[in-house]
């Protein structure tokens, strides 16, 4: 019981900051909406999914990413690159400040986004992973609460696609790791928000609400596009970029028209999908015999 309570206590600040940030973004969404008067029921459902994900996730993955990261560094010879910004000294204060506070942090995000891009891409391409991820894309009222609208099993795959590769490549202090997690959390809330904020000529440089809305579009022309979280350059390089046209704010949701209308339906969704996939595989094997 003590472990359970401690885990919940550790999760509470994350939950509180997430819903506080969403409360602030909700005001902005009300002032500058892409879709005015989104159904309250849709937003409440996404808030339920988010709350469940943030409550359950620590029990499944509490410390896992951190310990895997440390294991990779300590047992496999350390990281290829060490980013200890406090020890960096070029000999010039005029150079040190922008490098420590701007260039190097952006470089870390840039590298992270490369691994996130490929993680996200296989989620869309591999049916076994799409079975989990489709809950996130079933959102028809894209808003700040959509950010954490994930299935409770989904985050585990990031250990292999992001945590281990990042551990092999980079050595970050706990403070730097926490800062990276915070930036990711608030930025992804922003890009999912129902805010009419086009980036115009800056769209190929930095992701934003319009660019990411294209990713969530139900239109076939937009499927599997704009997969990066921060830097569209990865989409441009690997052929998955769709630059938003002026005034292009498509409807969101699954292209199939499938809907998720309850917390229970979302929680069992991947298991139903995996059951169908298993039956299809068994049927193919039987047809060959």
CA dist 104 → 100, 179, 180, 208 (Å): 6, 13, 12, 22
CA dist 56 → 37, 51, 65, 145 (Å): 31, 9, 15, 17
pLDDT of residue 234: 98
Q: Which residues pair with 195 in a beta bridge?
A: 33
pLDDT of residue 158: 85
pLDDT of residue 13: 83
> Residue 153 corresponds to which tokens in the numbers above?
């099993």
CA dist 33 → 16, 25, 56 (Å): 24, 11, 31
Q: How many domains does the chain have?
A: 1
Domain residues for 153?
A: 2-288
Could you list the mean pLDDT of each consecutive 10-residue stretch along the chain, which spans 289 residues?
60 87 96 96 96 83 57 58 55 62 77 95 96 96 96 86 79 68 88 96 96 97 97 98 96 95 96 93 84
pLDDT of residue 160: 84
The whole-model pTM stands at 0.86
pLDDT of residue 14: 82
pLDDT of residue 225: 98
User: Greatest CA span in the chain, whole angstroms?
Assistant: 73
């Amino acid at each position: 019981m003590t472990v359970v309570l401690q885990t919940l206590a550790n999760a509470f600040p994350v939950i509180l900051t997430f819903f506080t940030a969403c409360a602030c973004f909700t005001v902005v969404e009300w002032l500058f909406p892409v879709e005015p008067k989104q159904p309250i029921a849709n937003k409440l459902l996404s808030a339920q999914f988010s709350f469940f994900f943030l409550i359950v996730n620590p029990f499944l993955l509490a410390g896992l990413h951190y310990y895997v990261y440390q294991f990779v560094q300590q047992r496999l010879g350390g990281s290829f690159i060490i980013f200890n910004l406090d020890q960096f000294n070029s000999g010039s204060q005029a150079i040190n400040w922008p490098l420590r506070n701007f260039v190097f942090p952006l470089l870390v995000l840039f590298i992270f986004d490369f691994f996130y891009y490929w993680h996200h891409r296989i989620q869309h391409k591999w049916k076994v992973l799409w079975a989990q991820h489709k809950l996130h894309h079933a959102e028809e009222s894209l808003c700040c609460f959509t950010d954490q609208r994930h299935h409770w099993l989904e985050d585990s795959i990031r250990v292999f696609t992001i945590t281990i590769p990042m551990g092999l490549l980079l050595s970050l202090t706990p403070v730097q790791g926490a800062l990276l997690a915070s930036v990711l959390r608030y930025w992804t809330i922003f890009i999912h928000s129902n805010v009419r904020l086009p980036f115009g000529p800056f769209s190929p440089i930095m992701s934003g609400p319009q660019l990411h809305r294209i990713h969530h579009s139900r239109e076939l022309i937009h499927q599997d596009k704009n997969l990066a979280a921060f830097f569209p350059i990865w989409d441009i390089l690997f052929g998955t970029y769709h630059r938003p046209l002026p005034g292009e704010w498509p409807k969101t949701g699954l292209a199939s028209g499938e809907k998720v209308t309850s917390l229970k339906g979302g929680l069992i969704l991947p298991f139903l999908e995996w059951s169908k996939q298993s039956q299809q595989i068994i049927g193919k094997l039987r047809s060959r015999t």
